[in-house]
């Protein structure tokens, strides 16, 4: 049985519920899923400052559960804390955005990111740059306007998001569309027949890639930039994260 942990570094349980539904539909029968929601932070991450908070939350959530999973998913589209998690964790950690974008790259030359709020734009663009995929990006298309509830934003904005996807295909030349953001988990399957190119759900892509990496059972790097950092004293963070940074031995299973 492969154990995959999906963490939502936001405080919205309704978003975690959507993540869980999409993940369960995607996972193999031999995969055991677990989920966690942030105990502090923001309802949804939309800015660089909020992503910095979410990165710390993500590291703490993973550290508290180390040894309980064979692979983990940071289930927020901008991948907050992903680099640090890969340094510290003994098993693979997958980012929602990276998984979606790499999957899109296997289906077409250029992908579009479509989501529900303009505030997400700068952070999403920098996430694309971080992963080295700017040359594959057709564009980022975002809705402008308020929404009632983050847990129901996909239902409220469904038609508008489909319209944005069509515009990205027609005007930006997108070969693939990514419906970006954990609050949109599950929407790709609902609207796929209304969009004339492949539509990627980041949660589905991340779960399947987590299963693959867990199956491959690759060693943890002991060299290179993602080896575990040298021990260092740290104060003021969650005890489990402090223990990891200070060099306490951690189990890989």
For the chain, the structural domain boundaries read 2-97+206-245, 109-201
List Cβ<8 Å contacts ≥24 apart for 39-43: 39/11, 40/11, 41/9, 41/10, 41/11, 42/10, 42/11, 43/10, 43/11, 43/12, 43/150
pLDDT of residue 19 exceeding 60: yes
The whole-number pLDDT of residue 249 equals 64
Let me know if domain 109-201 sits in CATH 3.40.50.12500: yes
The whole-number pLDDT of residue 189 equals 97
What residues have CB less than 8 Å from 50, skipping those under 6 apart?
A: 41, 42
For the segment 169-220, what is each residue's pLDDT rounded down to a tens digit? 999 999 999 999 999 999 999 999 999 999 999 999 999 999 999 999 999 9
The whole-number pLDDT of residue 250 equals 60
For the segment 130-177, what is each residue's pLDDT rounded down to a tens digit? 999 999 999 999 999 889 999 999 999 999 999 999 999 999 999 999
The whole-number pLDDT of residue 5 equals 98
The whole-number pLDDT of residue 181 equals 94
The whole-number pLDDT of residue 253 equals 40
pLDDT of residue 51 exceeding 70: yes
Is the CB of residue 11 less than 8 Å from the CB of residue 43?
yes
What class, spelled out in words, does domain 2-97+206-245 have in CATH?
A: alpha beta
pLDDT of residue 252 exceeding 90: no
Q: Which residue has the higher pLDDT, 223 or 249?
A: 223
């Amino acid at each position: 049985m492969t154990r995959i942990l999906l963490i939502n570094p936001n405080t919205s349980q309704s978003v975690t519920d959507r993540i869980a539904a999409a993940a369960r539909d995607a996972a193999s029968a031999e995969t055991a899923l677990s989920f966690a929601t942030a105990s502090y932070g923001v309802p949804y991450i939309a800015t660089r400052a909020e992503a910095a908070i979410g990165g710390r939350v993500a590291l703490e959530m993973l550290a508290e559960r180390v040894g309980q999973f064979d692979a983990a998913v940071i289930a927020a589209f901008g991948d907050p804390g992903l680099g640090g998690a890969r340094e510290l964790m003994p098993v693979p950690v997958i980012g929602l955005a990276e998984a979606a974008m790499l999957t899109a790259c296997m289906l077409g030359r250029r992908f579009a990111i479509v989501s529900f709020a303009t505030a997400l734009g700068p952070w999403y663009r920098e996430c694309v740059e971080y992963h080295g995929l700017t040359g594959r990006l057709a564009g980022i298309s975002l809705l402008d306007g308020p929404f009632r509830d983050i847990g129901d934003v996909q239902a409220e904005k469904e038609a508008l998001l489909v319209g944005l996807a069509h515009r990205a295909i027609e005007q930006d030349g997108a070969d693939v569309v990514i419906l970006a953001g954990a609050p949109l988990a599950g929407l790709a399957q609902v609207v796929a027949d209304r969009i004339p190119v492949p539509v990627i759900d980041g949660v589905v892509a991340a779960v399947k890639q987590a299963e693959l990496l867990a199956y491959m059972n690759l060693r943890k790097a002991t060299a290179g930039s993602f080896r575990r950092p040298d021990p260092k004293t740290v104060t003021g963070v969650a005890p489990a994260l402090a223990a990891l940074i200070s060099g306490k031995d951690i189990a890989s299973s």
